[in-house]
Structure 1
Amino acid sequence: MHMRARRKLFLLTLIATVFTGMLSAVFNPLSAKAKEIQAKPHAVYKVDTDKKLVALTFDISWGNKTPEPVLKILKEKHVTKATFFLSGPWTVRHPEIAKNIKNMGFEIGNHGNLHKDFSNYPDSWIRQQVQLSEKAIKQVTNVKTTLIRTPNGDFNTRVIQCLNSMGYTVIQWNTDSLDWKNPGVSAITNRVLNRAVPGDIILMHASDSSKQITQALPQIIDGLRAKGYQFVTVSELLTQAKVKTQVQ
């Protein structure tokens, strides 16, 4: 091929490449931005979807009086999909309840070891705490956790980067039931039913500190179903559309 022909071919190839890039930018203008957002450290609060799906999530770090009634309600209401975030010490102290959560088919996530704010401690301490709870949950339930809800929902960019490097996805919530404040059964129920949206992650507790959740939970389940919602695990929710995140 002559030099002139080679140059012509090179110029045509370059023009085609530029033109393809321009078309991509026109018809998919958010792709680069979406990739940029997804690349940043983030916690997941909800999923952007039109499907009426919600994830019921329960944190457990203390007690044995509330967890079993919560599990009983879920069984009676035929709720087979929910996600429980367990602390390491609680799992060790109450292995039969933890095993029951697993055997009932519910998803299990990590809720840390000591219930302290991660952002107040160095990465080495965070890794140690997560590994301790991960080991406890694995030994009791044979589940290797990949989702984590940090104690008190506390995190910053550094904490998320540390947890991501350990293979964890940080899960927050979009609707907080505030059941841990024990504001009254109606207040808990109405807060969830009024705030829940498609793709929601709903925060509740199955610790003994949440004294009214067992009365509110049946109403929450019935109310959400009446609105047309279906229950899925957090992992199932994450497969839906684009994840709504918050970068710290």
Structure 2
Amino acid sequence: MNFFFVLNGKSIKQALVIVIAAFFTAWFFYAENIVQFPAFSTEDGPKAIYKGEKDIALTFNIGWGDEKAEPILEILKKENVTAATFFLSGAWAERHPDLVSRIVKDGYEIGILGYDYKDYTEIEEDKVRKDILKAQEAFKKLNIKDIELLRAPTGHFDKRTLNIAERAGYTVVHWSLDSKDWTNPGVNEIVENVSKAKKGDIVLLHASDSAKQTAEALPAVLDEIRSKNLKMVSVSQLIANGESNSSEIN
């Protein structure tokens, strides 16, 4: 036996309204339960953290030079900044053990910035692995243990990088806010860039000699962050404050 149902235009509209309302209600409750902690990831694989749920993490890359790191450390100390993360290249750390020791003594977190300044997306997988392991060995010789964070030296990474880093015991850390201090755009522009910071941001700064204006801009940068009532924490502390929500990367 066949049955035919006849619906007029008004009934169809009412049904669509009900379906749409149900969809948005379901999405609302789903979104409410998502922890806002974005990450790049491979499908069902390791993640690269680039943003947290609350607070803010200042990160400083150092790849070369010995003139800018110490003034930045002095400013952080003077401004009573007790938490920050320094991503150091293994080659730089070997050449400047006293500065590495100062960073540790001042209570700041250390992450690995590879060994040499290489784009991990443009070299063979084995060379990526060797560069990370070479950096790992450099820090071991300096008695810097239990490093868990890694940043791709040029900021470029792919699935291979994430997988290699995970096997070596590291979490890849990117950033959500670039101060662009590495372009030396002027102190005011660096401060303006960081003034856009929001809770959960990981801020990219540099303490290499190539970033000539960072130290001068840093006091005003810190003032901007404090004016937003954002607590400055290390990347590890930021990660500990939430679970990850990932989006796939090629």
TM-score range, shorter chain: 0.7 to 0.9
Question: Relative to structure 2, which stretch is displaced further, 102-111 or 124-133?
Answer: 124-133
Alignment of 1:35-50 (within 5 A): 39-47=44-52, 49=53
The structure with the largest helix share of the pair is 1
For 1:233 and 1:145, how far apart are their aligned partners in 2?
13
Structure 1 stretches of 4+ with a deviation exceeding 6 A read none
Corresponding residue number in structure 2 for 1:201? 202
Corresponding residue number in structure 1 for 2:146? 144
For 1:182 and 1:245, how far apart are their aligned partners in 2?
32
Alignment of 1:182-197 (within 5 A): 182-194=184-196, 196-197=197-198
Q: CA deviation at 1:185?
A: 0.2
Corresponding residue number in structure 2 for 1:103? 105
For 1:173 and 1:245, how far apart are their aligned partners in 2?
14
Corresponding residue number in structure 1 for 2:217? 216
1:185/1:245 CA distance change after superposition, 3 Å = farther
Counterpart contact for 1:147–1:171, Cα < 8 Å? yes
Q: CA deviation at 1:38?
A: 8.1
Q: CA deviation at 1:150?
A: 0.5
**SS of residue matched to 1:120:** coil
For 1:124 and 1:199, how far apart are their aligned partners in 2?
34
- 2:172 is the counterpart of 1:170: yes
For 1:246 and 1:84, how far apart are their aligned partners in 2?
26
Note the alpha carbon deviations across 1:61-114, whole angstroms, 9 max, x for none: 100000000000000000010000000110011110011001111000000011
Identity of aligned residues (%): 40
Corresponding residue number in structure 2 for 1:131? 133
Q: CA deviation at 1:127?
A: 1.5
Corresponding residue number in structure 2 for 1:14? none
Corresponding residue number in structure 2 for 1:113? 115
Q: CA deviation at 1:240?
A: 1.4
Q: CA deviation at 1:245?
A: 4.3
Report the residue type matching 1:124 in the other structure.
D
For 1:147 and 1:77, how far apart are their aligned partners in 2?
25
Report the residue type matching 1:133 in the other structure.
A
Match of 1:122 among 103, 121, 124: 124
Report the residue type matching 1:39 in the other structure.
D
1:115/1:173 CA distance change after superposition, 3 Å = same
**TM-score, L = length of structure 1:** 0.81
Q: CA deviation at 1:207?
A: 0.2
Q: CA deviation at 1:246?
A: 4.4
Counterpart contact for 1:42–1:157, Cα < 8 Å? no
Corresponding residue number in structure 2 for 1:83? 85
Aligned length: 218
Q: CA deviation at 1:60?
A: 0.3
Corresponding residue number in structure 1 for 2:236? 235
Corresponding residue number in structure 1 for 2:62? 60
Counterpart contact for 2:43–2:248, Cα < 8 Å? no
Q: CA deviation at 1:42?
A: 2.7
Note the alpha carbon deviations across 1:150-189, whole angstroms, 9 max, x for none: 1110111122111111111000000000000000000000
For 1:197 and 1:236, how far apart are their aligned partners in 2?
16
Counterpart contact for 1:98–1:141, Cα < 8 Å? no
**SS of residue matched to 2:98:** helix
**TM-score, L = length of structure 2:** 0.81
